Amino acid sequence: MLQSRLVKKTAAKDRARIVQFAWTIVSMNAYFEKIHQFWAKALGITAPQWSIIVVLAALDEGEGVPVNVVSKKAQVHPSFVTTQSQALEKQGFVRRKASSKDARIVLLSLTDKSYKQLAELASRRQDLDAFIFQDLDEAALLGLVQTLEGLDDRFAKGVLKLKLDL
């Protein structure tokens, strides 16, 4: 009986911490969105378009990045990436070309204009990063990233589990 109450008390405390964690993540996501809106506005684009540019800057190694890879990283539908990348192409931020290996695959890459604009924002972005992460040394930041990546993977599997269970 005592052990059962202890287990319930621990479960309730764990549940409260999980809820606290979830609300913290929701709050941080809202701040990330505001920051993305700020950087996007500086370039004259939308926050979702900014996300596409950031993904391309991170993933392109000179060959371009397939639309489906960008959509997975940005967690949006490939058709959304297609329409937004077309708009970014018209504004001179993105280059779109068919893959030489498979013409059905569209590869996206940043233009010189994008790289120039990102370079102009670089010091402000670095200053903001330094301010936000000032209390974390390299090892702590690496540990946090690894923990969050593990949780991200578990969340993805949890979503699949929910889909299967329903």
Top CATH class of 2-134 equals: mainly alpha
Residues shown for the chain: 166
Which letter does DSSP use for residue 149 in this model? H
pTM over 0.75: yes
Q: pLDDT for 42-51, tens place per residue?
A: 999 999 999 9
User: Above 60 in pLDDT, residue 1?
Assistant: no
Confidence of residue 143 (pLDDT cuts 50, 70, 90): very high
Q: How does pLDDT run across 103-112, given as a tens digit for each residue?
A: 899 999 999 9
Q: Minimal CA–CA distance to 36: which of 22, 49, 23, 24?
A: 49
Q: Where are the beta strands (DSSP E) in the chain?
A: 65-66, 94-98, 106-110
Query: In whole numbers, what is the pLDDT of the chain averaged over residues?
Result: 92
Q: What is the pLDDT of residue 5?
A: 61
Question: Contact at 8 Å (CB) between 81 and 74?
Answer: yes
Give the span between the Cα atoms of 46 and 161, in whole angstroms.
Answer: 33
Domain ranges of the chain: 2-134
Rounded distance between C-alpha atoms, residue 148 and residue 160, angstroms: 18
Q: What is the mean pLDDT of residues 83-91?
A: 97
